[in-house]
Structure 1
Amino acid sequence: MQLSATPYEERLTAPRSWWLISFLVGVSFALILLPFGTLPMLGGLAGGTAAAAVVASSYGSVRIRVVGGHLIAGEAKIPVAALGDAEILDAEEARAWRTYKADPRSFMLLRSYIPGALRVDVTDPADPTPYLFLSTREPERLAQALRAARDAAEAA
């Protein structure tokens, strides 16, 4: 069954401070190239800033979507029928599940600059992944979208 609308979509963009850091990387490249003259210095500023901005943008371009009966988190695409209960994690619990409670077999979409997360059990017996750990700014909305998609898949 194909759902007609996307019930949930989130892009885990990099925080604003990373763009300032990108500019500072460009400034440091400019300072390194300062002894070679004005043109190399300006090239270092532009090139260093652009390179750091590309890295920040690519790291922050990952998406989490629930569409067409599937959860798409980064490169992973999992049918919602293979997912169990979702547990909303506050900042402290999310940190615990990222560190000492973490299972190395789990799928983790981590973004350290996002405090909240959602932990979703994988119920497919053929899948060795015990759970998904997804950093998200809106864990309640994601959990609700997963429940709605799972209910729609079961009703079909």
Structure 2
Amino acid sequence: MTDTRATSQSVRYRERLWVPWWWWLPGMGVAALIAFEFTLGVPSLPEWLPYAVLLPVAAVALLWLGRTELRVVGGGEDTELWVGPAHLPAGVVSRSAEVPRSAKSAALGRQLDPAAYVVHRAWVGPMVLLVLDDPEDPTPYWLVSSRHPDRVLAALRS
């Protein structure tokens, strides 16, 4: 059973956390190099077969790494932040802030609360910090990677 609430409401902001475009060149290069090694090591294989298998595997792996979608849906009191399958009603957010790339290591290092909900993508610089005020939820805050944290926060506040 799938939850259709996120798709039935109006989407105020949407962002896919894709890997950078330049990762594709080294990713395909490594796959081609491994395929070349297979053609040298297993001469009984047709030369095209390792390429036909490993290049699509590399493409699927890169697409899989960028599968996380961040979106803000709804409006007013029904506004929610969805990060992948997890969602957070905007009403339980007591404070919010942008975490710049320069402060990211501190936020993910010794200051990180183990109970926090974290969606970190190393290839995305800034993050969004959402401090929760929900006595029923043991999660103190959400820390989520976003290329445009100002747009996420504006969509959550409006």
Where on the TM-score scale, by shorter chain, does this alignment land: which range? 0.7 to 0.9
The one-letter code matched in structure 1 to 2:69 is R
Q: Say which of 116, 120, 126 aligns to 1:106.
A: 116
Consecutive unaligned residues of structure 1, counting only runs of 5 or more, are 149-156
Deviation, 1:38, is 8.6
Report the equivalent of 1:52.
Answer: 58
Consecutive unaligned residues of structure 2, counting only runs of 5 or more, are 1-5
Q: Say which of 11, 23, 28 aligns to 1:6.
A: 11
Report the equivalent of 1:138.
Answer: 148
SS in 1 for 2:47: helix
Report the equivalent of 1:15.
Answer: 20
Report the equivalent of 2:47.
Answer: 41
In 1, distance between residues paired with 2:37 and 2:22? 23
Task: Please tell me whether the aligned partners of residues 25 and 49 of structure 1 are also in contact (alpha carbons under 8 angstroms).
Answer: no
Higher helix share goes to which structure?
1
Task: Please tell me whether the aligned partners of residues 90 and 115 of structure 1 are also in contact (alpha carbons under 8 angstroms).
Answer: yes
Report the equivalent of 2:80.
Answer: 70
The one-letter code matched in structure 2 to 1:46 is A
TM-score by length of 2: 0.84
Deviation, 1:18, is 2.0
Deviation, 1:6, is 1.5
In 1, distance between residues paired with 2:35 and 2:107? 41
The one-letter code matched in structure 2 to 1:31 is F
Question: Which aligned pairs between 1:120-139 and structure 2 lie closer than 5 A?
Answer: 120-139=130-149
Deviation, 1:39, is 5.5
In 1, distance between residues paired with 2:33 and 2:47? 10
When the two structures are aligned, how many residues end up with a matched partner? 147
The one-letter code matched in structure 1 to 2:13 is Y
Report the equivalent of 1:61.
Answer: 67
In 2, distance between residues paired with 1:38 and 1:12? 41
Task: Please tell me whether the aligned partners of residues 27 and 45 of structure 1 are also in contact (alpha carbons under 8 angstroms).
Answer: yes
TM-score by length of 1: 0.85
The one-letter code matched in structure 2 to 1:47 is V
